[in-house]
Structure 1
């Protein structure tokens, strides 16, 4: 099984199967000047230079769900996402220093996992890791604020 990669502008996607890439072409998600590469190719080449680019294929299965407006079709069990999830590293560090050390560390780990999974082409796992990091950050920040308020109330009450 060959692994293919697609470059649209400055974003790279893959690895994916040739069938998945053909489905993206059939769905109109690969422009003629988008670059493709696989093992054995000397360099990235425009998609329209490949023999399979013009061959008719079946319409891919569409998906629905919370990211359906951002994702395209399912290709080999993996959804194609349009943009990577935003980084939560800065928020994680802020929560570590100002609110809740354990929650910030967990969020930082999941934020980095989201980046790694996106780079590996595991878009669904990247979205899930991002969602976990975001939820952890929100819960940790709220918990840190509540604990700080309780501490302030108790400190004032002892005077």
Structure 2
């Protein structure tokens, strides 16, 4: 098998290739690809780091690959397209930004502003891969927006109660 694919910088999108093993050895020698570069060829279930398939490619210092199957081996299917390499998916996290903006405009604006600040942190932390930080910022945005709304509800209830006491 001499048709290899390698993942592009940052592991984004499809891989580069097909390229022969000799070109992979050359890319490795020029330090274009490293031991953690993901590689794939027909017959592999998933992308593998270069370090795990170095022997098969014939990189110096690695053990030689196993010999090819004998003349009675089953015929091989035509090469398939490489599976798309995708970075691990980070689940979506609710920002509560709309709720934070509405409570800022119609309720207690100091608490609403704090809710907006936390809501803006959610997507940035999620994009950085900090799922725990994104979830924390989401909870804080929801809490501050809730308090902003509750301050108005409690204030209106107190105002109505004082108004009722004044009529008695």
Return the TM-score normalized by structure 1.
0.50
Residue 121 (structure 1) aligns with: 129
- Structure-1 residue corresponding to 2:14: 45
Q: Corresponding residue for 1:108?
A: 116
> In 2, distance between residues paired with 1:137 and 1:81?
28
Question: 1:138 aligned to 136, 142, 146, which one?
Answer: 146
Q: CA deviation at 1:121?
A: 2.2
How many residues are aligned here? 100
> In the alignment, which of 65, 88, 95 is matched to residue 87 of structure 1?
95
Q: CA deviation at 1:84?
A: 1.9
Aligned to 2:133, what secondary structure does the other structure show?
Answer: helix
Return the match for 2:48 from 38, 44, 54: 54
The question of whether the paired residues in 2 share the 8 Å contact of 1:103 and 1:140 is answered with yes
Tell me if structure 2 keeps the 8 A contact 1:114–1:126.
yes
8 Å contact from structure 1 (residues 81, 123) kept in 2? no
Counterpart Cα distance in 1 of 2:151 and 2:106: 11
Q: Give the superposition deviation at 1:38.
A: 2.0
Could you tell me which runs of 5 or more consecutive residues in structure 1 were left unpaired when the two chains were aligned: 1-35, 58-79
Task: Name which one, 1 or 2, has greater alpha-carbon Rg.
Answer: 2
The answer to which structure has the higher strand fraction is 1
Could you give the per-residue CA deviations for residues 87-119 of structure 1, whole angstroms, max 9, x where no partner exists? Answer: 311101111122211111111100001121112
